[in-house]
Amino acid sequence: MNIQKIVQRVVEEVQKNLNSPNANSDQRTEEIIDFPEKRINGVVEPHNAASIERAQSITPARIGIGRTGTRMLTTSYLQFLIDHAAAQDAVSRGVSDDFLREIGLHKLETNARDMQSYLMDLDSGRKLSDESVKFLDENGDKRKDVQIIVCDGLSSSAVEANVGNLLPALIQGLKLKNISVAKPFFIKRGRVWVQDQVAAIVDCDLVISLIGERPGLNTDESLSAYMIYRPTEKTVEADRTVISNIHKDGLTPLEAGAYLSELIEQMLLAKCTGVSFAQQRNLNM
């Protein structure tokens, strides 16, 4: 449906409501309007339309959206609002319990009891709650090569869009390499550093966190994988390895599962991650 038809239907609906005898009542008519997902070239009579199409094909940036006077086109503005709403929803909505049951992940929690404390108090998302520490200590798989954890982070949409395919691919890849894998679990409102506490409790060699990235206006479904080998109290960010931009238009979930299993195998042999691992790889190349 093009933008002219959308505007026409909205105007007709407004006029109908104004003329209705119940116009002042609380009754509302809800209707879903399909919005075109295909990107358009909004530039009027471009000098080189092919170059705009090529640029649009290699980046999700808002290129060639056109303008009317000093403002963007209505279609572009509506798409901006849609993307902005999706980004906000990814942060606040939360991963559904139905999804976690479907993929078989037990839910643990951090000390961040709500989204406000998670966003305002960084440390609250870096430590498990007392109840979760007790559960993990009593039920976690101990002394395995790899512990996988899934965190919503700043995008529940990223978890639900990618983990269903990524997790089985990653586990299968590790097991084919004879790498022992502890039973994975989900941590609600977890940050990257919570993996250090998890590693200490289950006594694994390497822990990998699959965590939702901060959503932007290009995508709200991007996932990152943070890996750390035997973290200690002296661990710093440079000791971690991260693979980001995991989503359908970036590194796809299935590709990410295969690649991460290869990378983890190399890390376990090198007994390190982060900058130290990168330096070893460069020396061996």
145 by Cβ neighbours in 10 Å (0-12 / 13-18 / 19+) ranks as middle
Domain region containing 180: 97-284
33 assigned to some structural domain: no
User: What pTM did the predictor assign?
Assistant: 0.75
pLDDT in tens, 150-181: 999 878 888 999 999 999 999 999 999 999 99
pLDDT tens digit sequence for 176-205 = 999 999 999 999 989 999 999 999 999 999
- 176 within a domain of the structure (yes/no): yes
- Please report, in range form, the residues annotated as the binding site: 192, 213
Q: Binding site for adenosylcob(III)alamin: which residues?
A: 192, 213
User: Is residue 24 in some structural domain?
Assistant: no
For residue 91, tell me if it sits in a domain.
Answer: no
Helices 74-92 and 3-19 sit at what angle, rounded to 10 degrees? 80
Mean residue pLDDT across the chain: 84
**Residue 235: phi, psi to the nearest 5?**
-65, 135
pLDDT band at 140 (very low <50, low <70, confident <90, very high): very high
User: Does residue 278 form part of some domain?
Assistant: yes
Q: Is the pLDDT of residue 14 over 70?
A: no
Per-residue CA distances from 73 to 3, 68, 69, 86, 151 (Å): 10, 6, 9, 20, 38
Residue for token pair 């901006």: 80
Instruction: Supply the CATH number for residue 236's domain.
Output: 3.40.50.11240
Within 10 angstroms of residue 263's Cβ, the number of other Cβ atoms is 19
| Residue 62 covered by a domain | no
Query: Structurally, how many domains does the chain consist of?
Result: 1
231 in a domain, yes or no? yes
